[in-house]
Amino acid sequence: MKKIIIIYVLLFQFTTSHSGEILKIEKLPYKEANIERIYKLENGNFIYIEQMERGDIIWEYDTKANKFNELSNVWNFIDLASKCEMIREGNIYFATILEYWFAGGTNIDYPEIRIFDLYERRPWRDTDIGITPDMDYANEWCTIIKPYYMIGN
C-alpha cells in the first residue's frame, strides 16, 4: 500500500504544476516590458497585458509574422472573453477607462466596467459595445478565456 501511495504522489507531482511554473516568457514586446497576463486566442496568437504606472497596454503577438502589435491602452484591463450572449463581436475584453468630470477630477472610486472589441484602437465611452455592473454578472453571460500565464501563478 505504501508503494502505491508513493507512486501516486510522484506521478501527481510530475503531471500537475501551475502554468506559471512551466511557462517561461521567451518573447516580449520590448526588453523591459512588465507583462501581467498572457492569453492564447483560438487563431494561435497571444494577447499580452502589460501593466504600466498609468494603465495597461494590450499587445497581440502574431505567431505567423513573429511580431508584436500594440492594440490599445486602457486604465485597467480586467479580463478577456471569447464571446458573450447578446454581443455579436467575439474576442472582447472588459476594462475601465479613466473618465474625467467636466470641471475636473476623475471617477476613480466606481468606474464603469466597459466591454470593448479586442481590436478597438481607441477604447472610450463612444466605442464600447456594452457595460456590465460587475464581473460576476459578466461571468453568467460570457465565456471568459483563462489566462495562459499570470503573474503570481
What does the block give as the cell for 58? 494590450
pTM for the whole thing? 0.80
Q: For residue 1, what pLDDT is reported?
A: 54
Is residue 86's pLDDT more than 80?
Answer: yes
End-to-end C-alpha distance for the chain, whole angstroms: 33
6-22 pLDDT, tens per residue? 444 444 444 443 444 34
How far apart are alpha carbons 1 and 152 in whole angstroms?
36
Tell me 106's DSSP state. B
Enumerate residues 6+ apart whose C-beta is below 8 A from 64: 44
Query: Which segments of 3-151 are extended strands (E)?
Result: 35-40, 46-52, 55-62, 67-74, 76-84, 92-96, 113-117, 130-132, 142-144, 149-150
